[in-house]
Structure 1
Amino acid sequence: MNFSGNSRNYQVLCSDILYLERNLRQTIIYTSTGTYTTKEKLTVLTERMKPDFCLCHNSFAVNLHAVRTYSHKGIILSDNTKIPVSRSYYQQFKDAFAFMMLAKKYEEAETYTASVLSRINCRPQEKQPEEDCSHEKEH
């Protein structure tokens, strides 16, 4: 993802971003290696990173792939960061997370099927020539 902040242009992999936080007209982008600050709005950044990111609060968006667990009390990320989830965003977050999990399972199933088929060297069956029955004796 590309964004600008502090008179610089940045390029960060979406998979490296854990969450985003909007605070005092600035959005802080938290990654596994550090933080970046931009004036771009949280909603605009989140929209650009869908379906991997979802708003969970007026001031927070999370990388759905970084979610370890969640409840009405909040979201815990893979690095044990606790993120608030508001009542108004909870259902939207749950739906986005469920969709991401289904997509991941579908992708895993496709990969598994392709792997199995390649291991058994699956090819379409060749048509067998029909046998000539004219040599059979009549009774």
Structure 2
Amino acid sequence: MLNIAICDDNSVQSEMIQTAVDHSLNSLLSYNLCLFHDGKLFEHEILSRHCPYDIVILDIELGNSSKSGIELAKQINYLNPMTQIIFVSQCLEYAPDVYVCRHTYFISRDRISELMESALNISLENLSTCSVEDCLYVKVRKSQYKIPQNKILYIERNIRETTIHTYTTEFQTSEKIDSILRRLPDYFVSCHRSYAINLKMASAIHRNSAIFSNGRVIPIGRTHYEDVKKAFTIINTLK
């Protein structure tokens, strides 16, 4: 199912956007749509869940108490590079400014109903053609699954089964952790004989554990701590 978020503090405009989305996608596929009228609440959501949305439709002006849509888009670019961002604004003077972040489309308010379908179609095309390097392919029983790397929190080995944990789903495979890690970027590291973690998704590293924003605590083995701590520090300096 496609996950879409709309963040717009203008209730009239957000209703226009939702209507345009429903009209464009209703007969194409199933989707879940989350509506945010508060930029701060939306920021908390994407930070705590590492932006679980496939498509985000953002207003640029979100009130004095919130970051701008452009600033939020920069955070989304880091948290989930695959997320497609569509800007909607009644202020055309912002159009040049949006190029400081990766985005898919800019729509002026008076053309929402006209251009939303095109913006969504391009977003869907981009999502469907994500590169192999952005995903982990695993065999689960007789089926093969494509898991976006930035959705993976950690990997756990239990006797003869390995479980790949994301925020919403678990995938079980017989493949060993070491074999899986060879197909993943360097920010996936072994932290224990039974665990590997995605350092980009970790909120904190302690001597005995890695903490994730969903409250999950993963053990760190004594012999792994220094390497994990060093790698975590390097990744966070790149943010």
TM over 0.5: yes
Which ranges of structure 2 fall in alignment gaps of 5 or more residues? 1-135
- Distance across 1 between alignment mates of 2:181 and 2:235: 15
Instruction: Please report how far the alpha carbon of residue 22 of structure 1 lies from its aligned counterpart in structure 2 after TM superposition.
Output: 0.5
Aligned partners of 1:51 and 1:100 also within 8 Å = no
**Is 1:47 equivalent to 2:188 in the alignment?**
no
Instruction: Please report how far the alpha carbon of residue 94 of structure 1 lies from its aligned counterpart in structure 2 after TM superposition.
Output: 1.1
1:35 aligned to 170, 178, 196, which one?
A: 170
2:156 aligned to 17, 21, 46, which one?
A: 21
- Distance across 1 between alignment mates of 2:140 and 2:168: 17
Aligned residue number for residue 59 of structure 2: none
Q: Which runs of 4+ in 1 moved over 4 A?
A: none
Number of residue-to-residue matches in the alignment: 104
Q: Is the deviation greater in 11-20 or in 70-79?
A: 70-79
Aligned partners of 2:208 and 2:225 also within 8 Å = no
Secondary structure of residue in 2 paired with 1:100? helix
Aligned residue number for residue 139 of structure 2: 4
- Distance across 1 between alignment mates of 2:236 and 2:225: 16
Higher helix share: 2
- Distance across 1 between alignment mates of 2:150 and 2:212: 13
Instruction: Please report how far the alpha carbon of residue 60 of structure 1 lies from its aligned counterpart in structure 2 after TM superposition.
Output: 0.4
Secondary structure of residue in 1 paired with 2:144? strand
Q: Superposition pairs for residues 83-122 of structure 1, below 5 Å?
A: 83-102=218-237, 104-105=238-239
TM-score (norm 1): 0.71
- Distance across 2 between alignment mates of 1:27 and 1:12: 14
**Structure showing greater relative contact order (alpha-carbon pairs closer than 8 Å, 6 or more residues apart):** 1
Instruction: Please report how far the alpha carbon of residue 25 of structure 1 lies from its aligned counterpart in structure 2 after TM superposition.
Output: 1.5
Instruction: Please report how far the alpha carbon of residue 73 of structure 1 lies from its aligned counterpart in structure 2 after TM superposition.
Output: 2.4
- Distance across 2 between alignment mates of 1:32 and 1:16: 7
Query: Structure 2 counterpart of 1:16, which letter?
Result: K
Aligned residue number for residue 75 of structure 1: 210
Choose 1 or 2 for highest CA Rg: 1
